[in-house]
Amino acid sequence: MSVLVTGGAGYIGSHAAIALHDSGRRVVLLDDLSNASAAAVDAVRVLTSSDIPFVEGDAADVGLVDDAMGRFGVDEVVHFAASKSVAESVNEPLAYFRNNLGSLLGVLAAMEARGIKRLVFSSSCTVYGEPEVVPVTEASPVAAVNPYGVTKLQGEQLLDVIASAGGLDVMLLRYFNPIGAHLTGSIGEDPTGTPTNLVPLLMEVAVGRRDRLQVFGGDYDTPDGSAVRDYLHVVDLAEAHVAALEALASRPGATAVNLGTGRGYSVLEVIGMAEEVMGRSIAYEIVGRRPGDAERIWADPSFASEVLGWTAQRGLREMIQDHWRWCEAHPMGFETV
């Protein structure tokens, strides 16, 4: 099998590339490097001891994607390529629709031209908006509350329609909150610009790139007043993509699957675990709630276990340890010399 991984130089894509390689597949990476470094591709090659082909370019470019599929005999696709900042999407909604839907349409057009039917699509728990009931199941109401979430929901709907017409078998993987890094600490999350997620921000405080962490909201209806999320290890998440491609063989059409641990942790619990793991204190202040942030959300992961035979294996301590190993060795991300 030969799998095209769009967004393969990014945080999740680079980890998934390794898991896909380890599953015995030939992996081809495609990325426009809009939010990634070519050094990630080099690191994936080192970690897999394999000269994995890399195509630099835009997934919306049908000719480029089609050419890559032909050259490397691609027969399945994992589509990560997208812009992912909620805050940025609020300021630049059109850019988000263009990139997230444009890249999906580019990949779909090339897949159709090549007769490729198996696809795994990166969706997000953002499609559940601010859920009234937790844990969320795949049948929970969807309600995207920001432009980024709308692009994911519309992507899912588009894929569902095409799959219903028999043109595609697709897993719509709704990720919860991936953190952590490869055990070697040689690849990890390397956000360009200002991160907006808790753990990358916390790591910037730990390595001295930021004075203090802002905790958005201390008056939520949660045990300690801070917001609760379902964090999962990026390597567990990467492995779920292998399971998803394999499950497609017996599951035609479109299937939405939650990928989380089923356990929520509050922001203050994550800070506490980070302090324990790093053996140092993290300066933080509690500030007002951030508009659009859900109070609490975690997954019901039972459908993933049933359909993919996958459950997350790694706990919060391991996630923070592995994320910290990467950040400590690369305080400036892949730019670190």
Binding flags for ligand NAD, 94-133, as an x/- string (CB under 6 A): -----x---x------------------x-x---------
What lies within 8 Å, CB to CB, of 165 at 6+ separation is: none
Q: How far is the CB of 13 from ligand NAD (least distance, A)?
A: 5
Residue placing its CB nearer to ligand NAD in the complex, 17 or 205: 17
Q: How far is the CB of 4 from ligand NAD (least distance, A)?
A: 11
- Please check whether residue 236 is in contact with residue 318, taking contact to mean a CB–CB distance below 8 angstroms: no
- Please check whether residue 237 is in contact with residue 311, taking contact to mean a CB–CB distance below 8 angstroms: no
Q: How far is the CB of 310 from ligand NAD (least distance, A)?
A: 16
Q: Which of residues 151-210 bind ligand NAD (CB under 6 A)?
A: 175, 177-178
> Rounded to 10 degrees, what is the CA torsion of 291, 332, 50, 238?
-20
Burial 114-148 (b: 16+ CB within 10 A, else e): bebbbbbbbbbbbbbbebeebbbebebebebbbbb
Residue 301 binds ligand NAD (CB under 6 A): no
148 annotated active-site: yes
Q: How far is the CB of 226 from ligand NAD (least distance, A)?
A: 18
Both structure tokens of 174: 């709704």
Tokens 């942030």, residue?
A: 293
Residue 85 binds ligand NAD (CB under 6 A): no
- The CA–CA distances, whole Å, from 294 to 84, 118, 135, 190, 311 equal 17, 33, 13, 25, 24
Residue placing its CB nearer to ligand NAD in the complex, 169 or 189: 189
Supply the residues annotated as catalytic: 148
Contacts with ligand NAD by CB under 6 A lie at 6-7, 9-13, 31-36, 58-60, 80-84, 99, 103, 122, 124, 175, 177-178
